[in-house]
Amino acid sequence: INNLRDIEQDRKANKKTMAVRFGRKFGLFEVGFLITSAFLLGIFWSFSQMFAASVLPLLALPIARMVMRGLKENEPGPIYNQYLAKASALHLLFGVLVSVGMILA
């Protein structure tokens, strides 16, 4: 999200971030892929008898959806700071929910 937010400044500074090299669409895909892949791990956990660890993280899906929708609907800039903060909260919540799920499993 940071690289998406700073894409224009990074381009001017000749930084070679993935978002600068491949564009905003790729940056959005990358963030979406990383968020989605975390939730897809639940499929693995459900087959390894960690049902709680596969289900509890789904409670964080609304935050993930809010982050992705906000990034897609807004142009990169300072507004992305709020989505960076929400993504940090998502990361923390997801980790806590997985941990609780593993303890319960």
DSSP string, the chain: -HHHHTHHHHHHTT---HHHHH-HHHHHHHHHHHHHHHHHHHHHHHHTT-HHHHHGGGGGHHHHHHHHHHHHHS-SSTTHHHHHHHHHHHHHHHHHHHHHHHHH-
Band (pLDDT 50/70/90 cuts) for residue 41 is confident
Full residue range of the structural domain in which residue 44 is found: 2-104
**Domain count of the chain?**
1
Of 3-17, 43-57, 68-82, 89-103, minimum mean pLDDT range: 43-57
Mean pLDDT to the nearest integer, 16-33: 96
pLDDT for 10 equals: 96
pTM attached to this predicted model: 0.87
Mean pLDDT to the nearest integer, 70-77: 95
Residue 44 in this model has a pLDDT that exceeds 90: no
pLDDT for 51 equals: 86
